[in-house]
Amino acid sequence: MERETYLNAGYGLKSWLLTRDHKRIGLLYLFTITLFFFIGGAFATLIRMELMTPQGGLVSSETYNKLFTMHGVAMIFFFLIPSIPATLGNFFLPMMIGARDLAFPRINLLSWYLLVVGGLFALFAMLAGGVDTGWTFYTPYSTTYSNSWVIATALGIFVAGFSSILTGLNFIVTVHRMRAPGMTWFRLPLFVWANYATALIQVLGTPVLAVTIVLVFCERVFHIGIFDPALGGDPVLFQHLFWFYSHPAVYIMVLPAMGVISELVSTFSRKPVFGYKIVAFSSMAIAVLGFLVWGHHLFVSTQSVYAGLVFSFLSYFVAIPSAIKVFNWTATLYKGSISFATPMLYAFGFIGLFTIGGLTGLFVASLGIDVHVTDTYFVVAHFHYIMVGGTIMAYLGGLHFWWPKMTGRMYPELWARLSALVIFLGFNLTFFPQFILGYLGMPRRYHVYPPEFQVLHVMSTAGASILAVGYLMPMVYLIWSLRYGKPAPANPWGATGLEWKTASPPPLHNFDETPVVEHEVYDYSAVVGEGI
């Protein structure tokens, strides 16, 4: 008799599309964002192919401009922002705190539908001819001069924004009100702290993006003049409004990843994270400080010199909590029991690449240096190191870590380790040359470029082809494992955390009885023997 799990508790399309189960919703998100990842990846492939030669030739300038715009839009709004919170967070946050579900399961499902609807708008724009404003859609180009599908894309992002807001709202209420008896704040896994801090940013920042999009829409349709200098408006006002959200947005993308890394480093060293409270507070500090630094995107955009000084100063502040995390993770390894399972390899990759990406953030935070490197490939490399070298590696690490719990199957370890290595090498070859390109003066968003930059571009494209293989491999073997993977025990890694106390895959209501928490967090003495 087959044990009842959340996967077989109902069959058919309706049971998935009308589900209230946070675990199924997590999988719905997994499917959706993976789709958008490959769409964004397809655009990236075309971009890198085009950039192999200085004069292009594969696509026209207009098409190229659409490619980098849609790559950014797809990856940021429809992949990265939802990624970890909406898949791993949705699935595991309730379980980690000992709850049966999120506070508002139907709103959770609504969040997913909003992402899908927003995604359909964006897809429509892409198929109908594309949008060419850059994902940052600066005015007045986006409001007055672009002849592309700006409004459809903007509407897609607007709708997807509400998906993000509602997920954040759900998480905050859940963490406050649904913790099991004995689950105090300082017994929460760091993944929960990270998602909580992220949720705060989502609810406070995203509405500002929403109203900015409303203004762009009004400007484009009604020509009200809010960003049009001919009518008395200020195009730079848009930049302030846009970056007020979009800077905290990058912390939406990286904080959950850091939460994953805390779990991985702890589990695969079999030790509590060094400085648990500090790491928890550092997530909160990043969330708060992240709202104070948006002007560092406007250093050369005619923002006042004094504002520049303030924003540069504060930008250095926000670097410190991230550095603290890296040091604490490293210290966790000290005298630990280190396993090199795939999730841990991804964690190592994250720490290394995030360190590089974060340190280059110090470069762009410096007013003097930023004048030279802003709007060049240096910045492109900086943010890809953090979002791809960082977030995506953490996401894959988390996916592998929790795969047995979600699916009841083990993935093939050898292939997984190989992919992690291929991704690490491919990534560095793709993006490290871009630091040099930027420093030498190669501007971003350039379709054609002077021939002296070609060698570095070819290296970057070579790396991209390796990276692409690295990303395709998990697609193949993870799907393979669904059928042929070894059945997974409840706690294959010997991890602490309430989610490992229940079967793999979990039953519909997560726990047969509401857990009562008596141990401190990351207490490995309590799970000795599990996972062998």
Partner 1 sequence: MLFLVAVATFFTLGIFAAIFYFAIRYRRRSATELPVAQHGAMVLEIVWTVIPFALTMVMFGWGAEIFLRESHAPKDALQVFVVAKQWMWKLQHTEGKREINELHIPVGRAVRLTMTSEDVIHSFFVPAFRTKQDVVPGKYSTTWFKPTKAGKYHLFCAEYCGTRHSGMTGWIYVMEPQDYANWMRGGAPSESLADDGARLFKELACANCHKADNTGRCPSLAGVYGSTVKLTTGETVTADEAYIRESILQPNAKIVAGYPPAMPTFQGLVTEEGMLQLVEYIRSLGGKPAAGGAH
Partner 2 sequence: MAGHPQTETLALREQFNTEAQQKDAATLGMWIFLITEIMFFGGLFLAYTVYRRWYADTFAVASSSLNVYLGAANTVVLLCSSLTMVLAVRAAQLGKRRALVMFLILTLVLGGVFLGVKAYEWNQKFVEHHIPGPNFHFEGAAQQGPAQLFFSLYFAMTGLHALHMVIGAGLLLMLIVQAGRGRYTAAYMTPVDVVGLYWHFVDIIWIFLFPLLYLIDRHLGR
Q: Which stretch binds partner 2 (CB under 8 A): 59-67, 125-133, 222-230, 270-278?
A: 222-230
Member of 360, 460, 461, 504 binding partner 1 (CB under 8 A)? 360
Binding partner 2 (rule: CB under 8 A), the pick from 7, 49, 59, 169 is 169
Q: Establish if 441 lies at the interface with partner 2 (CB under 8 A).
A: no
DSSP string, 92-138: HHHHHHT-SS-S-HHHHHHHHHHHHHHHHHHHHHHHHT---STTTT-
Min CB(120)–partner 1 separation in Å: 26
Measured distance CA(379)–CA(361) in Å, rounded: 9
- Give yes or no for residue 466 binding partner 1 (CB under 8 A): no
241 binds partner 2 (CB under 8 A): yes
| CA nearest to 149, candidates 123, 114, 118 | 123
Q: What are phi and psi of 409, to 5 degrees?
A: -130, 150
Q: What is the largest CA-CA distance in the chain?
A: 74
- Residue closer to partner 2 by CB (options 182, 450) is 182
Q: Which of partner 2, partner 1, none does 102 bind, CB closer than 5 to 8 A by kind?
A: partner 2
User: Cα separation of 43 and 41, whole Å?
Assistant: 5
CB under 5 to 8 A by kind: which of partner 2, partner 1, none does 225 bind?
Answer: partner 2
Among 38, 316, 415, 480, binds partner 1 (CB under 8 A): 316
Could you give phi then psi for residue 327, rounded to 5 degrees?
A: -65, -40
Among 168-176, 292-300, 315-323, 417-425, the segment contacting partner 2 (CB under 8 A): 168-176
Dihedrals phi, psi of 444, to nearest 5 degrees: -85, 165
The residue behind tokens 């077989």 is 8
| Bridge partners of residue 443, in order along the sequence | 376
Stretch that binds partner 1, among 60-68, 113-121, 204-212, 414-422 (CB under 8 A): 60-68
How far apart (Å, rounded) are the C-alpha atoms in residues 374 and 378? 7
Site map for partner 2, 148-167, x if CB under 8 A?
-----------------x--
Q: Which is nearer to partner 1, 65 or 510 (CB)?
A: 65
Does residue number 493 form part of the binding site for partner 1 (CB under 8 A)?
Answer: no
103 interacts with, out of partner 2, partner 1, none, CB within 5 to 8 A per kind = partner 2
> Which residues ranging from 506 to 525 are in contact with partner 1 (CB under 8 A)?
522-525
Residues 63-102 within binding reach of partner 1 (CB under 8 A)? 65
64/196 with CB nearer partner 2: 196
Q: What residue type is 112 in one-letter code? A: W
Rule CB under 8 A: say whether 454 interacts with partner 1: no
Q: Which secondary structure element, helix H or strand E, spans residue 179, and what is its range?
A: none
Q: Contact with partner 2 (CB under 8 A): which of 46, 58, 237, 331? A: 237
Q: Which amino acid is at 235?
A: P
Rounded to 5 degrees, what angle do the CA atoms 90, 94, 96 make?
110
DSSP assignment, residue 229? G
Indicate the helix (H) or strand (E) that contains 499. none
Site for partner 2 in 46-105 (CB under 8 A): 99-105
The neighbour count for residue 372, using CB atoms within 10 Å, is 16
**Toward partner 2, which CB reaches closer, 217 or 480?**
217
- Choose between 172 and 464: whose C-beta lies nearer to partner 2: 172
Site for partner 2 in 499-518 (CB under 8 A): 509, 511, 513-514
Could you tell me if residue 530 is left (phi over 0), alpha (psi between -120 and 50 degrees) or otherwise beta?
A: beta
* For partner 1, the closer CB: 272 or 497: 272
CA 355 to chain centroid: 17
CB burial of residue 232 (10 Å; 0-12, 13-18, 19+): exposed
232: contact with partner 2 by CB under 8 A:
yes
CA end-to-end distance (rounded Å), the chain: 26
Q: What does the per-residue mask of binding to partner 1 show for 200-239, with x meaning CB under 8 A? A: -----------------------------xx-xxxxx---
Which does residue 441 bind out of partner 1, partner 2, none, counting CB within 5 to 8 angstroms by kind? partner 1
Contact with partner 2 (CB under 8 A): which of 17, 128, 231, 479? 231
Rounded CA separation 55/193 (Å): 48
DSSP lists the bridge partners of residue 487 as 409
Contact flag: residue 418 with partner 1 (CB under 8 A): no
The option from partner 2, partner 1, none interacting with 109 (CB < 5 to 8 A, set by class) reads none
Radius of gyration of the chain (CA): 23
**450 near partner 1 (CB under 8 A):** yes
Pattern 135-164, binding to partner 1, x per CB under 8 A? ---xxxx--xxx------------------
The verdict on 434 binding partner 1 (CB under 8 A) reads no
* Integer Cα distance of 44 and 55 in angstroms: 18
- Residue 521 neighbours by CB under 8 Å, 6+ apart: 186, 187, 188, 189, 272, 276, 496
Q: Site residues (CB under 8 A) for partner 2?
A: 99-105, 165, 169-170, 172-174, 176-178, 180, 203-208, 210-212, 214-215, 218, 222-226, 230-234, 237, 240-241, 509, 511, 513-514
